[in-house]
Structure 1
Amino acid sequence: MKTALITGANVGIGLATAKALARQGFNLILLCRNEAKGEEAVTAIKRINPAVTVELVLADLTDTDSIRRAAEQVRATHRQLDVLINNAGYSPDQIEFVGTVEKSFYANHIGHFVLTYHLLDLLKAAGEARIINLSSAAYMLGKASRFFQHDKKLSLLAAYGDGKLANVLFTKELATRYADSGITAYAVHPGVVKSNFGSNFTGPIQLLMSVARPFMRSPERGAETSVYLATAPIDVITRKDGKAGGSGGFFADSAPKLVKHIDNTNRQAADLWEKSMAFV
């Protein structure tokens, strides 16, 4: 049986992804912040397929010590990891900072970067492993020049966009660095999903979310691309023309999409990696 670790797996897209992978026979590690909700998710998933193992690991993606402890716990009990789905997302309701870094950028990028880095040995041990980073079309609102900047005047949407752009660049650099290690990486836009995401937005953004909510897709539909990337044969995922798709690519609706952003460059991806290493 293959093993997948999913962050933010107790609600929304993460829970829907976990349930879908359980149906396909994956053993699961749920990395969650809330223990009670995590235990509820474990129970619900075991009910779907009693034959798989479902473990709960607690971590706060804005606390690197917590993340390192979680990674150590996983490494102590597992010899390999086949799929890592960095699914958890944080939408800011105000501009806050963890140290000098804006909180949503910390949770959406840095936390997942640190977790991924400390699990790389387990991923390499699998022989063929996949890293799936939940990004968003909101990457278009991001700017690499704002990464790691202590800007209290940053708008909520710009802050969120920065994290989602970082997810795209992180994926790109993972694909470059680990091409010869049996690890592939993919960024995902799950679509606009009807979940708890954005429930803490205020003002005009909250009004927009309320109007749009009836037209949003279900968490199960939002999970489809992550599940596809976790389970489909590699040669099916990889596009032959080399222009989109394959490792380092951006996917939506289970298909590769071109990333149209001036900052989507190898140099920006490498620079983000080097700056993120300070938090490892």
Structure 2
Amino acid sequence: MKTALITGANVGIGLATAKALVRRGFNLILLCRNEAKGREAMAVVQQLNPAITVELVMADLTNIDSIRRAAQQVKSTHQTLDILINNAGFSPDRIEFVDNIEKSFYANHIGHFVLTHYLLDLLKASGEARVINLSSLAYALGNATRFFKRNEKLSLLSAYGDGKLANILFTEELAQRYADAGITAYAVHPGVVKSNFGGNFTGTLQVVMSLARPFMRTPERGAETSVYLASAPLSVLIKPDGKAGGSGGFFADSAPKLVKHNDNTRKQAADLWTKSLAFV
């Protein structure tokens, strides 16, 4: 029986992913920031399949010490980890900084990078582990030259786009570095899902979000690609070029998609990895 750890598993896409995987017989570790909501999610998921185990781990993805403690907790009770779904997403409603890093970039990329790093031993021990990083087509709004730099004039959408672009570059570099260790990695666009994102927008953006909401996906629909990548046989995921499991690829609607961005280069991916290591 495989074990999956899902960040942000108490709400939205994360909870929908947890429900789908528990129905497929996965044991789950739910990593959440809010303990009360995390326990509610545990009860809901456990009820769907009493035969599996569900654990709750608390962590704040903008706090390195918190992430380190959470990883240590997991390592103290598990020898292996089969699936890591870096799902938790932070949508900024104002520009804030943590250690001079824009907060949504910190939560969406740095926090997940650090968590993945500390769980690498468990992932390697699995023999066939998968890391699934929730990105978005908003990567198109990102710019690698802004990574790790304080910018008081950054727009909310640009800040969010930077994190989503970083998710893709991190996925590519992780796949390259750990292919021989039996780890595959995937970036996912879940679609535009009904959430609180954009609730703070004003003017034209507010109008656009209001018009779009009736056409947005449910969390269950948004979770489908993550569930597919977590549960499908690797033989099904292999790319036409033969790369194992389509590893390093960007997926939407359960299929690989091209990433069209000038910053999507091996150099940028390696540079992001090097700079992210400073936070470990």
TM range (shorter): over 0.9
Q: 1:71-93, CA deviations, whole angstroms, 9 ceiling, x for partnerless residues? A: 00000010100000000001111
Structure 2 SS opposite 1:239: coil
* Whole-angstrom distance in 2 between the partners of 1:189 and 1:245: 17
Worse overlay, 194-203 or 107-116: 194-203
Give matches, 1:136-175, under 5 Å: 136-175=136-175
In the other structure, the counterpart of 2:45 is 45
**What secondary structure, in the 3-state scheme, does the structure 1 residue paired with 2:90 have?**
coil
1:131–1:185: 8 Å Cα contact kept in structure 2? yes
State yes or no: 1:21 paired with 2:21.
yes
1:244–1:256 contact (8 Å) kept in structure 2: no
- Matched with 1:75 is 75
Spell out, residue by residue over 1:39-74, the C-alpha distance to the aligned partner (whole angstroms, 9 max, x if none): 000000011111111111000000011000000000
Asked if the contact 1:244–1:250 (Cα under 8 Å) also holds between the matched residues in 2, the reply is no
Contact 1:28 1:54 in 2 (8 A): yes
Aligned equivalents of 1:129 and 1:266: distance in 2?
23
How far off its partner does 1:208 sit? 2.2
Q: Give structure 1 regions of 4+ aligned residues with deviation exceeding 2 angstroms.
A: 195-208, 241-245
Alignment partner, residue 250 of structure 1: 250
Q: 1:64 corresponds to which letter in structure 2? A: I
Q: Deviation at 1:15?
A: 0.2
The residue that corresponds to 2:278 in the other structure is: 278
Cα distance in 2, alignment partners of residues 175 and 202 from structure 1: 39
Superimposed CA distance per residue, residues 133-175 of structure 1 (whole angstroms, 9 cap, x where no aligned partner):
0000000000000001110000110000000000000000000
Q: Check conservation: 1:42, 1:54, Cα contact below 8 A.
A: yes
TM-score normalised according to structure 1 size? 0.97
C-alpha displacement at 1:243, in angstroms?
9.1
Q: Shift in Å at residue 27 of structure 1?
A: 0.3
Residue 241 of structure 1: CA displacement? 3.0
User: 2:88 & 2:65 partners in 1: Cα distance?
Assistant: 18
Moved more, 205-214 or 169-178: 205-214
Alignment of 1:1-280 (within 5 A): 1-241=1-241, 246-280=246-280
**CA positional deviation for 1:239:** 1.2
Instruction: Report deviation, 1:203.
Output: 4.7
Which blocks of at least 5 consecutive residues in structure 2 are unaligned? none
**Offset at residue 14 of structure 1 (A):** 0.3
TM-score (norm 2): 0.97
Asked if structure 2 preserves the Cα contact closer than 8 Å seen for 1:91 and 1:201, the reply is: no
**Identity level (%):** 78
Shift of 1:202: 4.7
Output the CA distance in 2 between the equivalents of 1:34 and 1:171.
27
State the 1:238 CA deviation.
Answer: 1.4
SS of residue in 2 equivalent to 1:191 = coil
